Chains A and B, each alone.
Chain A
């Protein structure tokens, strides 16, 4: 533990990579705002917040998971499974809607717990475990629903996904709360510091007496729970339940987290970085669309920004290390 603390990054308000991101984001915002007068409006920004909530919620625990050197590829499928079970239990089991929602969140939690259990108890590598549950959970969603969609929820159900509270999209409040909670946990608690320790050197963390397995089990379970929450919001936003929901969202989430400077090797990363990564991707997509760039070209830009930003940070880091 002492060794890791000695080498842990100094607690600057923003890490170098985050400064790179803030600069890129500021430039992008300035350019896009001059190109389209409809981009930098409160209305548009709030709306973008609504659209990025699901990815954002899942990105929070994903940051934790990646900080420990793990990964969770099953989140999109977990989301699909939760969405299907929300609709299915409401329609076919006759659950009241509230119970169906709780059930869906529970299913997400269990799905995440299963990942965590196999990863910690049976030492299945996270990538493999979550690739197999990526297929398994999606398969269950398709098998259970037989790809029938569930529609016709009562009006009140749509408040979360389509409504507003105090002029701000309902789900955005949830995202803000989640960001604050996860940021505080990661930066200010022993639990958060243990995540860095595990990611930096798992064996070392174990020897210094950290309950590594319990911590990992907790974050994978949290990942499942947040995927369930995202499923609920998503169903409420698009007013229907389909088994293909959330397909490929894991790549969007991982792109945001990695762009935010969390190292895929573990040990480095912040929630602030992830939020910056999220904002950058969402606003780039939106801004480019508003200035008339087509969707396919936007995907290319996002891919290039992802590689370049990591590249810049790597160079900066190496120069600092050489300078020392």
Chain B
């Protein structure tokens, strides 16, 4: 499928409704909703609450609660950061206890088993980042039916399997930040490649589809060459990025990393090939992994929400749900030091706009 298909982008809004977009490999087929080029807020259709309801839960408002957090996998920088945020929030609140536990590989059946065990063990709430939105649904529904609150963060499940989802940033917001930064660094009429996890990882597929739509609208001369897959594997990411550099030679001016593993590996590949300054790397990554490359000047900017804040918000949201302060139809929720977070898209809580780390501020972060 190297020949990009021309496909009609069926936008959720009239803004993008008639736009034609050349789709990039690795994007999904869902409708896109690119933001305006000038940085204004996009339109968002109001939607009724579409999350699920918990049944048979004991009212514990104001009382101590125990939560379990089951991320996609444990042992990567990103989820270490969300864990830290959760612990921070738990300490602040004082009446919440959170344990993080999960599989060592991003495998769906392992994740399901972990959640199942914790339901049996008896917790007041499950926080999750889904490896697969559908596969995780049955066990989450089981939790809801046993009176366990279910809140997602980072990677969503189907909405009917959880109460709320803390969304780190709107897909189109990330897409805009990525494409704008890339265009700024390499110029409007240059070519680039993408290193992603797999073509079907839901978040990555969504971002690529949104990036494709946004680039078609606001940076039409940017040329996408190829998307390669590298799982969440450091070595494979490095190899794939190197191969892209070798394959396209001078043609390639930029690499986009779609995961917190792919971005540092791409930067490493560019550094090893002595192409710093010739090939720009823009991507999603945690600051610690990117510090060496930002310090050497090989990477100018890194796009990411703050995962510590994401974990922090997830715990606050759960507390609010248990206390009855966040109910269907609410438009915002109070989240400690983050202030008021708004409810979007029916049953999602938006953390905010993506954050851009660069040389000036990256050393202020440690995760």
A residues with a Cβ closer than 8 A to B are: 36, 38, 43-44, 47, 51, 146-149, 151, 158, 162, 234, 237-240, 242, 244-245, 247-248, 285-286, 289-290, 292, 294-296, 299
Contacts and interface: CB of A to CB of B under 8 A. Distances in A.
Contacts of A149: 132, 134, 200
A38 B122 contact: yes
Interface of B: 74-75, 99, 101-105, 107-109, 112-114, 116-118, 120-122, 132, 134-138, 198-200
A256 to B, nearest CB: 15
15 contacts: A44-B120, A147-B200, A234-B109, A238-B134, A238-B136, A240-B135, A245-B109, A247-B107, A285-B113, A289-B101, A289-B114, A289-B117, A294-B99, A295-B103, A299-B104
Chain B interface mostly? loop
Contact of A240 (B101, B117, B134, B199): B134
Nearest to A247: B107
Given A47-B120, A151-B134, A289-B114, A295 B199 contact: no
A299 B122 CA distance: 22
Contacts of A248: 105, 107
B113 A51 contact: yes
A295 B104 contact: yes
A51 B138 contact: no
Contact of A239 (B99, B109, B122, B137): B137
Given A36-B121, A38-B122, A148-B199, 4 more contacts: A47-B116, A242-B108, A248-B105, A296-B104
Nearest to B1: A146
Given A147-B200, A162-B138, A289-B114, A238 B108 contact: yes
B135 A289 contact: no
Contacts of B117: 286, 289-290
Q: Sort A-B residue pairs by CB-CB distance and give the 9 closest, nearest first.
A: A238-B135, A240-B134, A289-B117, A147-B200, A240-B135, A151-B134, A290-B121, A44-B120, A294-B101
Nearest to B142: A162
A47 B122 CA distance: 14
Given A238-B108, A295-B101, A295-B102, A289 B118 contact: yes
Contacts of A148: 199-200
A162 B138 CA distance: 8
A125 B105 CA distance: 30
Q: Which one of A38, A147, A240 has the highest number of Cβ atoms from chain B below 10 Å of its Cβ?
A: A240
Contacts of A151: 134
Contacts of A43: 120
A289 B116 CA distance: 10
Contacts of B121: 36, 38, 289-290
Contacts of A290: 117, 120-121
Contacts of B108: 238, 240, 242, 244-245
A290 B113 CA distance: 12
A148 B198 CA distance: 10
